[in-house]
Structure 1
Amino acid sequence: MADLNLNSVVKLSSGYTLPLLGFGVYRNDDATPSVLEAFKAGYRHIDSAQMYRNEEQVGNALRQSGLSRGEVFITSKVASKDHGYERVLASIDGSLKSFGFDYIDLFLIHDPLSGKEKRLATWKAILEARDAGKIRTVGVSNFSAKHLEEIRDAGMEMPAVNQIELQPFCQQKPIVEYCRKNGIVVEAYCPVIRGEMNHEVIQSIAKKYSRDPGQILIRWSLQHGFVPLPKSATPKRIHSNAQVFDFTLADEDMRALDELDRGADGAVSWNPVGGD
């Protein structure tokens, strides 16, 4: 793990590569300055969603940055309120217009809360949009093994990515293991526990490495093979969250963080992985 750097990527089943560190823009109503700062810090992976209502701001940041479209990996997602074949096709066109892009690098079903029929209709629409060149890689978020098996049982292509809440208090080991066995890359949202980092184990490890707790948590995620998606609107924090490639957590410190797992009770977000 010591040879990872900010340019490190993971190969997806789609054939495309995904930068190992992403930048989240959830609850960021003025995302353009934050995304521009993230680009300055070296991030090349931005995680947005239709329900965040900032796709246009992300697109504007890219155009202002001087970076080319091909240098940056952009994600969006469709939430359950807009699931269904026709609605999803229209929403993808809406996202493309909002971003001002010709394609979206990764498009996810944001949650599984619409029920089996709509989930599968939504997946069919996303695959068709991918085949039409509007999306490069297809994935899901907050899906359990049951939801993923529905896709397999329907005879459709499996997702390349599953984005779930992952941090030491909420490790979701069953779905992580399922994804690993099936070649599905796991992205970690809420990797710094929404700032709830005062636990003595996290603090003591941060002190040991002369790092801030957020850096310890992001490094934990990377060393587990996840793709963490930290978010911040604070320039100093945006930069420090990216400075996680010049140290490695020792095995005993990884184990100490692993032992903090509280299962679903450790979640700090909506975490609908167990939904029907």
Structure 2
Amino acid sequence: MRHVVSLYNGIEMPLVGLGVFKTNGQKEMDHAVQYALEAGYRSFDTAQMYQNEHILGESLRRSGIARSDIFLTSKLDNPNQGYDKALLSFEESLRKLKTDHLDLFLIHWPGQKRARLIDSWRALERLHKEGRIRAIGVSNCMKRHLQWMAEDCDVMPAVNQIERHPLLNQNELAQWCTQRGIQVEAWAPLVRGSFDFPLIREMAARYGKTPAQIILRWNVQSGYAVIPKSIHRDRIFENIDLFDFALDETDMRAIDAMDANGRTSFDPETFDF
């Protein structure tokens, strides 16, 4: 069974993808991609900011997987925002990833300058219209950033990739996006590896799953895609094995109640560049 979500333009995106943040050696990436493909992953998430697009592109080439069989995401780096720079940097991303198109291209951070964000988005709109990107989206956007886009742009984001985990569930934002047809995708869904919570351990024992699987299942059962990062074979296999059980509503609400505004990175409401 294929576990995908349909974006508002009909493009299907896998619910679970492999994040490759800080995977910077070619051998390390080769192994991670090999393990992921063996485990059933078909979605890979990188970014210009990670400086490893070329490594991922080479690993995918070496794997022999057909381009049509994978869902490839990258993100526009902050210094490359603005209409012309966004177009140029997109071409560089394609070259590094050894592909002629992306399945999803995101603006990595919105910043606080409305005109710059809109100019960058218009570049993505053009690339989408030209068929160079199958779906376009954003990352780390709050409601006001998305409202800017609704007022000034022709196409709304298909995806908003946000930090989402038990200590920062951002439920209000996520539900707001869902109501408007914007698919939420969770980055750092495992709190950057710091997810040793007694409540989660108790649930894991009760369901016969690992703590990571409980947290990831909480996200996907809420309707949100996830991109857990790992280079370890066992963890890569574990992180996609989420679809043979379901959390009951009491447990879903208990995880929701763990929210503590626990960001692990910048606050999009104030971060600028």
TM bracket, shorter-chain basis:
over 0.9
Task: Give unmatched runs, 5+ long, in structure 2.
Answer: none
Q: Which shows bigger deviation, 29-38 or 155-164?
A: 29-38
Equivalence for 1:119? 117
**Does the residue aligned with 1:216 lie in a helix, a strand or coil?**
helix
Name the CA distance, whole Å, in 1 between partners of 2:38 and 2:76: 28
Corresponding residue for residue 20 of structure 1: 15
1:271 Cα deviation (Å)? 4.5
Separation in 1 of the partners of 2:193 and 2:243?
21
How far 1:273 moved relative to its partner? 5.1
Change beyond 3 A, Cα 1:60–1:114: farther
Residue by residue over 1:20-76, the C-alpha shift from the partner in whole angstroms, topping out at 9 and shown as x without a partner, is 111100111122321221111100011110111111222222222222101100000
Letter in 2 for 1:107: F
| 1:88 pairs with 2:83 | no
Write the mapping of 1:164-183 to structure 2, written as runs, cut at 5 A.
164-183=162-181
Residues 190, 269 of structure 1: 8 Å contact kept: no
Write the distance in 1 (CA, Å) between the matches of 2:195 and 2:118: 38
In the alignment, what sits opposite 2:240?
Answer: 242
Q: What SS does structure 1 have at the residue aligned with 2:137?
A: strand
Partner of 2:184: 186
Normalized against structure 2, the TM-score is what? 0.94
Taking only aligned residues, the RMSD between alpha carbons, in angstroms, comes to 1.4
Q: TM-score, normalised by structure 1?
A: 0.93
- What SS class does the counterpart of residue 137 from structure 1 fall into? strand
Offset of residue 274 of structure 1: 5.6
One-letter amino acid of the structure 2 residue matched with residue 188 of structure 1 = A
SS at match of 1:108: strand
| Contact 1:80/1:114 (<8 A) preserved | no
Q: Which moved more, 1:220-229 or 1:55-64?
A: 55-64
In structure 1, list runs of 5 or more residues that go unmatched: none
Identify the residue that residue 54 of structure 2 maps to in structure 1.
56
Q: Is the 8 A contact 1:110 1:141 kept in 2?
A: yes
Counterpart residue identity of residue 131, structure 2: G
Distance in 2 of aligned mates of 1:114 and 1:103: 29
State the partner residue of 1:72. 70
Q: 1:10 maps to which residue? A: 5
Q: Which residue of 1 aligns with 2:264?
A: 268
Correspondence list, 1:147-162, <5 A: 147-162=145-160
Provide the identity percentage: 39
Q: Distance in 2 between matches of 1:173 and 1:274?
A: 19
Count of aligned pairs: 269
**1:126-162 deviation line (CA, Å, top 9, x unaligned):** 1111122221110000001111111111142100000
Displacement after TM superposition at 1:114 (Å): 5.5
